[in-house]
Amino acid sequence: EDQVTQSPEALRLQEGESSSLNCSYTVSGLRGLFWYRQDPGKGPEFLFTLYSAGEEKEKERLKATLTKKESFLHITAPKPEDSATYLCAAFSSGSARQLTFGSGTQLTVLP
């Protein structure tokens, strides 16, 4: 059974304090690792897809990286508007076309 675990559950940062969120996965034949941002009362907003170990993608203050066992979402010099829950999800060859989601990391950036 595919499993995705995110840590920490919650993270509080001061504005400008860089950090990383972790997503560990155990899946049979990873076909894609996705990162989403979710604001309260909203649906997830797509951020990145990573397909193979060593791949990196960047968008503004966010950078996602992927290894064979985990993915990191690095946040550089965060701002209060980066506060949200960040979800990762894995799509595998054994998952019948569905995503397996982690439980998310709730990020709060204090001004």
Contact between 86 and other proteins (CB under 8 A)?
Answer: no
Nearer to other proteins, 19 or 49 (CB): 49
Q: Residue 13: which of 72, 70, 84, 63 has the closest Cα? A: 84
Burial category of 73 from C-beta neighbours within 10 Å (exposed 0-12, middle 13-18, buried 19 and up): buried
| Per-residue binder mask for other proteins (CB under 8 A), 50-69, x = binder | -x------------------
β-pair partners for 107: 11, 84
Contact between 103 and other proteins (CB under 8 A)?
Answer: yes
Give the angle 20-13-8 at the CA atoms, nearest 5°. Answer: 45
Q: How far apart are CA 55 and CA 46, in angstroms?
A: 17
Q: How far is the CB of 78 from other proteins (least distance, A)?
A: 21
- Of the candidate spans 19-27, 29-37, 62-70, 76-84, the one that interacts with other proteins by CB under 8 A turns out to be 29-37
Binding site for other proteins (CB under 8 A): 31-32, 34, 36, 41-46, 49, 51, 87, 91, 96-99, 101-104, 106
